[in-house]
């Protein structure tokens, strides 16, 4: 195991100054310094989680002595909706609710109802999704759908119960997550996606069992390379199993064919299960590979992340965010928020994943990165 380090600077209390307003884009489309538009906003609604997965919220640090944010520090549902409305005006059409574990936020369906009422400038409804560990999904899926949620993504790292209990580190059974996945599908929150973070030597023996289980089920399984997010998960390169090797393992049993991306800026590389004719058989489904470590997708990244206390992060591997909560609570108008968000995005140049391989190991370790549990995956 790599050495775990407690960050000396608490990114929850340190925010970057919001830059001066930027001139409007000539074509009306807001782009960053690399020409990337903003289309996807990920909103963390809580810093709390009932799991203690070692790659995200290790128990050694997030324990009884850890100081959680008080409720007053969290953005209210009305503040979140107000900010989302401004982001939608800048081209965002997809909202993903994350955490922590978002279903721990009391009354979350009220927020979903408010977000579902928003419309893009041309009158289209938003794509509203949620990422969850699935522990509370069985009891909440129907309510979430009724509130206006479109889809869910469930984190599940193993079908083997002892392995799963060890990875979530709270002895939570895999059967309850599977029940949540089935409840989500029954409620119409599909297509349901399942994310599996693959750690070499920990759960990579579950790659084929997971594929066998979800193949032909209508559920999209996605394999995620273990990433160096934050400073507390003891990340080591030798625990990363490259997606190319995962593809090889799958193809030894299941013929796969590459598929086109479903949308610009999509993080997952799609592969379909082939039928007897060698072509993709939709009835068999597909798998995805999110390969931030070995195949950086910075070039068309169109995502921003809003923390539960109102800081805007422009990269999953960023160290600090821009404090939009302070702007709002200091009385900023919607026009001022609009100008601030435009200036922030138009100054964006982040591309950490592209640079990672060229950085010396000591520099990689010295780069301060926000914790995944703070801004979601």
Hey, is 333 helix, strand or coil? coil
Residue 71 is part of which domain span? 15-375
Strand segments (E) across the chain: 15-16, 40-44, 94-98, 127-132, 151-155, 193-198, 220-225, 256-258, 269-273, 286-290, 303-306, 311-313, 321-323
pLDDT of residue 54: 83
- Tell me if 165 sits within 8 A of 173, measured CB to CB: yes
pLDDT of residue 8: 38
State percent of the chain over pLDDT 90. Answer: 69
pLDDT of residue 250: 97
For residue 27, the Cα-to-chain-centroid distance in whole angstroms is 30
Kind plus residue range of the DSSP H or E element containing 204: none
Q: For residue range 71-127, list pLDDT tens digits in order.
A: 999 999 999 999 999 999 999 999 999 999 999 999 999 999 999 999 999 999 999
Q: For residue range 160-182, list pLDDT tens digits in order.
A: 999 999 999 999 999 999 999 99
Residue length of the chain: 377
pLDDT of residue 6: 45
Residue 7 domain-assigned (yes or no)? no
235: tokens are 């990340």
pLDDT of residue 13: 53
Residue 59 domain-assigned (yes or no)? yes
Hey, is 100 helix, strand or coil? coil
pLDDT of residue 49: 94
pLDDT of residue 55: 84
Closest by CA position to 322, among listed 69, 83, 8: 83
Average pLDDT, the chain: 88
Q: Average the pLDDT over 228-243 and give the result.
A: 74
Count: domains in the chain:
1
Residue 228 domain-assigned (yes or no)? yes
| 1 vs 283, more confident | 283
Residue 254 domain-assigned (yes or no)? yes
CA dihedral 164, 168, 171, 177 (to 10 degrees): -60
Put residue 61 in one of left, alpha, beta given phi > 0 → left and psi -120 to 50 → alpha: alpha
The CATH number that applies at residue 222 is 3.20.20.70
Residue 3 domain-assigned (yes or no)? no
Using CA atoms, how far apart are residues 234 and 267, in angstroms rounded to an integer? 24
291: tokens are 């390969």
Q: Average the pLDDT over 204-231 and give the result.
A: 91
Decide if pLDDT at 318 tops 90: no
Q: For residue range 326-367, list pLDDT tens digits in order.
A: 999 999 999 999 999 999 999 998 787 767 666 655 545 545
């Amino acid at each position: 195991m790599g050495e775990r380090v407690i960050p000396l600077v608490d990114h929850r209390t340190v925010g970057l100054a919001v830059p001066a307003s930027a001139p409007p884009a000539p074509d009306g489309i807001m782009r960053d310094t690399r020409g990337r538009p903003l289309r996807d906003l990920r909103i963390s609604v809580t810093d709390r989680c009932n799991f203690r997965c070692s790659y995200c919220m290790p128990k050694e640090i997030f324990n009884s002595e850890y100081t959680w944010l008080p409720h007053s520090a969290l953005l209210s549902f009305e503040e979140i909706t107000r900010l989302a409305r401004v982001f939608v005006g800048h081209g965002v059409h997809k909202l993903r609710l994350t955490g922590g574990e978002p279903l721990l936020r009391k009354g979350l369906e009220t927020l979903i109802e408010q977000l579902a009422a928003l419309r893009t400038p041309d009158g289209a409804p938003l794509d509203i999704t949620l990422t969850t560990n699935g522990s509370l999904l069985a009891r909440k899926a129907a309510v979430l759908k009724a509130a206006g949620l479109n889809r869910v993504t469930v984190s599940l790292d193993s079908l083997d119960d002892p392995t799963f209990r060890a990875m979530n580190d709270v002895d939570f059974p895999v059967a309850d997550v599977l029940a949540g996945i089935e409840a989500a599908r029954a409620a119409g929150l599909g297509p349901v996606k399942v994310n599996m973070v693959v750690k070499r030597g920990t759960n990579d023996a579950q790659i084929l069992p997971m594929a066998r289980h979800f193949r032909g089920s209508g559920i999209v399984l996605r394999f995620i390379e273990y990433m160096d997010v934050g400073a507390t998960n003891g990340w080591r390169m030798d625990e990363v199993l490259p997606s190319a090797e995962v593809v090889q393992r799958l193809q030894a049993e299941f013929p796969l064919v590459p598929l086109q991306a479903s949308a610009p800026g999509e993080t997952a590389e799609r592969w379909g299960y082939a039928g007897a004719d060698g072509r993709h058989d939709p009835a068999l489904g597909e798998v995805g590979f999110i390969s931030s470590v070995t195949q950086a997708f910075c070039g068309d990244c169109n995502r921003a992340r809003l923390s539960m206390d109102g800081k805007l992060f422009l990269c999953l591997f960023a160290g600090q965010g821009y404090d939009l909560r302070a702007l709002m609570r200091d009385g900023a108008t919607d026009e001022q928020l609009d100008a601030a968000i435009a200036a922030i995005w138009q100054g964006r140049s982040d591309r950490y994943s592209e640079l990672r391989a060229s950085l010396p190991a000591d520099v990689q370790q010295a780069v301060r990165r926000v914790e995944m549990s703070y801004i979601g995956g």
